[in-house]
Structure 1
Amino acid sequence: MNRISTARAATATAVVLATTGGLIGVAASTSSAAVTCASPVFKRQFFANTSFSGTPKKTDCDSAIDQNWGTGAPASGLPSNYFGVRWSVTRDFGSGGPFAFTASSRDGIRVYLDGVRKVDLWKNVSTTVSKTVNLTIPQGKHSLRIDFVNWTGSADVKFAYAPRTSATVDTVKPLTPGGAALTYSTSTYKSKLSWTRSPEMDLAGYQVYRRVSGGSYPVKPLAVATASATSYTDTPPMDGKLYYYEVRAYDKAGNTSAGTADKGVTTTKVATPAGVTATATDTAVGVRWNPVPGASAYKLYRNGTTLTTVKGATAYSDTAVARSVSASYRVAAVDTTGTVVSPLSTASAAVRRPVAAPRSLTATPGLVKASLKWSVPADGGSYAGFHVYRSTSVTVDTTGEPLDCTVKGPVTEGDQRYWTCVDNTAEGGVTYHYVVKGYDSAGTESAASGAVQVTPESRDLTAPAAPTGLTVTPTEYGFTLDWDDNTEADLHRYGIYKGSLYDDGDGGQVCLAHLVDHTFADTSELEYRAAADGEEVCFLVSAIDTAWNDSFRSTGEGKVVQVRELDLRPSEETPASGSPVDVTVVDDGGEISLSWYGGEDATGYRVHRWDGTSYVLVHTLDGGGRVSWTDPSAPRGTTSFYRVTAVLADGTETAPAGVAVALLP
């Protein structure tokens, strides 16, 4: 291996190291008894003769025999010719088997196995000679001795031994690994199988096997370890069962040893998750549970069906759950192997994902009111209704009672559906903030919509001034009213009040009037129809603004005009009673339509109209019962007076029934 210089100090201290699967390091010593070389390192002795007699001149350790000293001395104090070097070692060959001894030298070399010569090249030669010997070494420990001599000339020597690893040559199984032991950690849930290093020189590695109690070891190993390994850490299933392990050695030819004696361990059982809770939000259902020691993942079930596998977390957000439907969740733990699943959690978390929050909320101000409008997403769930919440602060409290607001809808506009609500309890001039929540049939509310704010208009409580300049002129069809225009900007219309005069008890008269007609703000005159039958009446006109403040109703003020109707009644009076005919009149679109009922005895009817001097027959008809007739020739701009009689079966007429009606020009 190393060329030893003759100048090296002969007093060097010996240091010997052994390494895994090989040899390292040499150091020289002149005292043979003081040198100890750990197997498989050779002990090397230098002799100043070729008979290996006497005390060695130097002793040290050599990890490999491969030297070339040329024509010089191999060490200080030795001659350059006629010297000898001896290497020796005792080592464990494990299971033994076929080996190859390869030697080359100049001059002589002899190799001994357990004292038996296996290589013999013992001649003084001028060139290097070589030889390889194949042999079978028995199991266990054996000694090797290599003798080399140099007679004259250059000196070099080389020797190596190695197992023959061809599968066709080596059929010897390795020895079973020794020192097998097994431990199990209840904190990491891992088992550790350990063994001592094998002495096999052709060791390729180790095979680790595992089986459950009552079962057989599989053909394929659980794991393969390197030749330098002395342990393997496994994570067995956390199912509370008994598992056995064994380790086998295998060599480079593919031969496998017998397994070590079974080493068993009962694993910890993966626990059932506890503390399962589910919380519904607008966007998802959040499921949480307590961590399970040793679990690598969790299987989450919804309504008895596998939902997902969760790794590295003890929570899951279920965004796919349907709204307005009860969902129940249970969890099972998966052990660190990913194969064993615990029983399902005994308690299940049930929850309903609420309907989606209303969206696109708008608020429109009105006169002491606010009109709200909103929509919902198409996949928002099944809405049973909506709650409207109101606040005068920016943050709307939705924990109290909702607003008493009648929700109407849905109304479809395009591809959207809308709901509305009018807050009629709002005060004018106050800024309100609104949000809307939907709720399902279980009463579960959604999240709140976005907030909107609105300030309703204040109510106008001031009535317009009472109109002035009212004049009332009697006409043949009733009256013509005229008054001065009001100038209020918010004037909406005029109200026409008509009544009768009554004594007030103090010698005066009071007009008890009620609203009979109206005009819009752009008109300050009116033709009022009434039968010209000479009654004395009273009129007044009120101003009404857009807030429906009425000058007469609000203040009781207004100019009252007393006036008597023209008296156009016929000179021929109609009996006050005694007629079986009941006549009513209707202004049918500017035409006079009469209807009456003459009784079961009537066989026909006769209609007369006053022409200014007498009643003239204008229409006859046969039949009894209820009858109606429209007068196509009724004059406009005046009052028409009618008489209707019933004709009986004997041809006689009943007493007449009278009615009067006026038509505007």
Structure 2
Amino acid sequence: MITRTRLSALATTAALVASGGLLTATPAAAAVTCNSPLWKADYYANTTLTGTPKLTTCDSVISENYGLGDPAVTTLPKDNFGVRWTLTRDFGSGGPFAFTAEAQDGIRVSLDGVRRIDLWKNNSTTQKKTLNLTIPAGRHTITVHYATWTGAANVKFGYAPITSATTDTVRPLTPAAFTTAYDKTLNKVTTRWTANKEMDLAGYRVYRRLVGTTAWSRVGGTTTPLTTTTSTDSPPPTGQGYAYEIRAVDRAGNESVGTVDLPITSVDRTAPGAPTGLKAVRASTGDAVLTWTAPSATDVAAYRVYVDGVLTETVTDDTRYVHPWGDYGTTYQFTVKAVDRAGNASAAAATSFTTSGDRVAPAPVTGLKATPREDGVFLEWTPNPEPDVKLYKIYKAEWYDDGEGTAGWLAHNVELLTKDADSYLHESAADGENVLYGVVAIDAWGNALDATDPAMNWVEVTELGTPEAP
């Protein structure tokens, strides 16, 4: 019985229908083009594979069992015919390959015209051979010659990369035509490249690094390599620059050199850290003074200060804010947020502050005595016992009369003393004038009797000496 697995007996002028590995077939008179990685098969009615082919086909694999008959009854003889298969393809980076051949009868295999397998003889059984060899990078041509003389006829040939990590140490080629596109609205980077030619390619890996650093991180973590030629990524939205590159990886785990780095600048949607160390203290004026420590972010442009939840001040170039003294006993809630140049606001730092003090002036100073001396007037008084007294102010009043009906005592401040004072020498000329002296206590909140207050105690004294003539 005749077994034919790949060719059907047809008229020489008819096209052959695709079946199994056979894709197309035409009479020898017609030109045939087989696109890589298809084999171009030329059938000859002799074992020398000379003359004009009787038939030309395109095959996806070489695996034929012609049995005891010819592959095309009306085209080739029953015995003594031959076939030449030719394939040219790009092997990418190349690497170690295994050639496996078996035939009854003869088979020869060449790479770029150099014979690699030679089993060219009439054989009553199927002969086999496996050859491991390294194919250089780029395009190469494999040619398979087959001849059957008499008896049964079959032929197989295959080539495949060796993917053992101990054998294959050849890196894949760097992916070509690498591009990036960044959509700021979606914060999405789309990378594209063209497919590699390696037969043992496992896929691709996308890497990203912060511009200015050398540490790459793999987009997608440790997942298996991409088998597509496009990828998307959402970089940290920090407003910083990131560089991308693509690397090919084969089934032995070899990784290619990366592509040229392509940078993008991400949109800034990341708020700075909150200010730290926020505190409020009372100033000598009674105002609340807020201070804080800036966050570590370098793009902080300003600070927003909120008082009881209301934006009150935007502070630039400082980490301090003074809030005016409010009503006594009032508690204020202060919050401060850092704002970067993109307008992102941090979480709030918060603190509270309660105003203290009062608006009541210390009691009038008592026990005031004034003693005239040659060098001036020496004042003594009883210290005010109130705990919040901080200062004493010394007043001197002189009589004024303009001769036109306006007369009275004109008081002016002559000295400011600390709370520990209980006496003071006002140096003045001994001119025999009548004058008034008064002392008022000032508390920590700035409260004090006015010089015109009726409660204020004045003492009258006549300076030594002779009054000057008016």
Q: TM-score range by the shorter chain?
A: 0.5 to 0.7
How do 1:485-500 and structure 2 match up within 5 A?
none
Letter in 2 for 1:6: A
Could you say if the C-alpha distance between residues 120 and 227 of structure 1 is closer, same or farther in structure 2, counting changes exceeding 3 Å? farther
Partner of 2:265: 266
Which amino acid is the alignment partner of residue 62 of structure 1? Answer: D
> What amino acid does structure 2 have at the position aligned with 1:11?
A
Q: Does 1:7 align with 2:10?
A: yes
Counterpart-to-counterpart distance in 2, 1:153 and 1:186: 72
1:50-61 → structure 2 map (5 Å cutoff): 50-61=47-58
- Asked whether the 8 Å contact 1:14–1:29 carries over to 2, the reply is no
From 37, 41, 46, give the equivalent of 2:43. 46
* Counterpart position of 2:237: 238
- The one-character-per-residue Cα deviations of 1:280-311 (angstroms, maximum 9, x if unpaired) are xxxxxxxxxxxxxxxxxxxxxxx99xxxxxxx
Q: 1:217 — aligned with what?
A: 215
- Alpha-carbon contact 1:10-1:58 (below 8 Å) kept: no
For residue 27 of structure 1, the aligned residue among 24, 27, 39 is 24
* 2:67 is equivalent to residue 67 of structure 1: no
How far apart, in 2, do the equivalents of 1:31 and 1:227 lie?
44
Tell me the alpha carbon deviations over residues 497-554 of structure 1, each in whole angstroms, 9 at most, x when there is no partner. Answer: xxxxxxxxxxxxxxxxxxxxxxxxxxxxxxxxxxxxxxxxxxxxxxxxxxxxxxxxxx
CA distance in 1, matches of 2:29, 2:78: 21
User: Is residue 82 from structure 1 mapped to residue 84 from structure 2 by the alignment?
Assistant: no
Partner residue in 2 for 1:194: 192
- Paired residue for 1:175? 173
Please name the residue that 1:106 is paired with.
104
SS in 2 for 1:78: coil
1:450-479 CA distance string (max 9 Å, x none): xxxxxxxxxxxxxxxxxxxxxxxxxxxxxx
Q: Is the 8 A contact 1:13 1:29 kept in 2?
A: yes
Task: Call closer, same or farther: CA 1:10–1:205 in 2, change over 3 Å.
Answer: same
Matches within 5 A, 1:248-259: 248-259=247-258
- 3-state DSSP class of the match of 1:59? strand
Give the Å deviation of 1:237: 1.3
1:343 alignment counterpart: 345
Q: Structure 1 25/70 Cα, relative in aligned 2: closer, same or farther at 3 Å?
A: closer
- Percent of pairs with identical residues: 48
- 1:355-403 superposed Cα distances (whole Å, 9 cap, x missing partner): xxxxxxxxxxxxxxxxxxxxxxxxxxxxxxxxxxxxxxxxxxxxxxxxx
Return the structure number with greater relative CO, CA threshold 8 A, min gap 6. 2
CA, structure 1 residues 242+154, in 2 after alignment: closer, same or farther (shift >3 Å)?
same
Aligned runs of 1:98-177 on 2, under 5 Å?
A: 98-177=96-175
Change (3 A) 1:242 1:105: same
How far residue 327 of structure 1 moved from its aligned partner, in angstroms, is: 9.0
Deviation at 1:137, TM superposition (A): 0.9
Counterparts of 2:187 and 2:57, CA distance in 1: 50
Contact 2:187 2:266 in 1 (8 A): yes
After TM superposition, give the deviation of residue 261 of structure 1 in Å. 0.3
Counterpart check, 1:247 vs 2:225: no
Instruction: Give a deviation string over 1:401-449, Cα, whole Å, max 9, x none.
Output: xxxxxxxxxxxxxxxxxxxxxxxxxxxxxxxxxxxxxxxxxxxxxxxxx
Give structure 1 regions of 4+ aligned residues with deviation exceeding 6 angstroms: 13-16, 325-333
The equivalent residue for 1:288 is none
Aligned-partner SS, 1:118 = strand
When residues 8 and 177 of structure 1 are mapped into structure 2, their CA distance, relative to the original with a 3 A threshold, is farther
Aligned-partner Cα distance in 1 for 2:53–2:337: 79
Task: Map residues 240-639 of structure 1 onto 2, 5 A cutoff.
Answer: 240-270=239-269, 342-344=344-346
Question: Which residue matches 1:379?
Answer: none
Question: How many Å separate the matches in 2 of 1:80 and 1:193?
Answer: 57
Matched letter for residue 38 of structure 1: N
Alpha-carbon distance between aligned partners in 2 of 1:327 and 1:172, rounded to the nearest angstrom:
68
Alignment match of 2:92 (pick from 87, 91, 94): 94
How many matched pairs?
288
Deviation at 1:220? 4.8
Matched residue type, 1:7: L
Distance 1:234 1:331, change over 3 A: farther
Cα distance in 2 between the residues matched to 1:28 and 1:332: 76
Alpha-carbon distance between aligned partners in 1 of 2:52 and 2:238, rounded to the nearest angstrom: 69
Which secondary structure does the structure 1 equivalent of 2:168 belong to?
Answer: coil
Contact 2:183 2:189 in 1 (8 A): yes
Deviation at 1:190, TM superposition (A): 0.4
One-letter amino acid matched to 2:153: A
Aligned to 1:610: none
Distance 2:201 2:226 in 1: 6
**Deviation for aligned residue 1:187:** 2.9
Q: CA deviation digits over 1:288-338, x for unaligned, max 9?
A: xxxxxxxxxxxxxxx99xxxxxxxxxxxxxxxxxxxx999999999xxxxx
Partner residue in 2 for 1:434 = none
Give TM-score, length-normalised by structure 2: 0.55
Change (3 A) 1:101 1:181: same
Please tell me whether the aligned partners of residues 211 and 217 of structure 1 are also in contact (alpha carbons under 8 angstroms): yes
User: Which amino acid in the other structure matches residue 92 of structure 2?
Assistant: G
1:9-53, CA deviations, whole angstroms, 9 ceiling, x for partnerless residues?
74227999xxxxxx9761111146521111111111111111111
When residues 29 and 341 of structure 1 are mapped into structure 2, their CA distance, relative to the original with a 3 A threshold, is farther
Aligned AA (2:227): S
1:269 match: secondary structure: coil
Q: CA contact under 8 A between 2:28 and 2:52: conserved in structure 1?
A: no
**Structure 2 CA distance for partners of 1:131 and 1:330, relative to 1, 3 Å:** farther
Asked if 2 retains the 8 angstrom alpha-carbon contact of 1:40 and 1:90, the reply is yes
What one-letter code is carried by the residue in structure 1 that aligns with 2:195? R
Structure 2 unaligned blocks of 5 or more: 272-307, 310-330, 351-470
Compared CA separation, residues 344 and 118, structure 1 to 2 (3 A): same
In structure 2, the CA distance between the partners of 1:31 and 1:63, relative to structure 1 (3 Å rule), is same
Equivalent-residue separation in structure 2 for 1:345 and 1:11 (angstroms): 80
Q: 1:34 is paired with a residue of what secondary structure?
A: coil
Is the Cα contact below 8 Å between 1:197 and 1:228 reproduced in 2?
no
TM-score normalised by the chain length of structure 1: 0.40
Rate the CA distance shift 1:328–1:102 in 2: closer, same or farther, 3 A: farther
* Aligned counterparts of 1:226 and 1:54: Cα–Cα separation in 2: 49
AA paired with 1:3?
R
153 and 326 in structure 1: CA distance in 2 versus 1, 3 angstrom threshold: farther
Matched AA of 1:72? G
Instruction: Report the equivalent of 1:184.
Output: 182
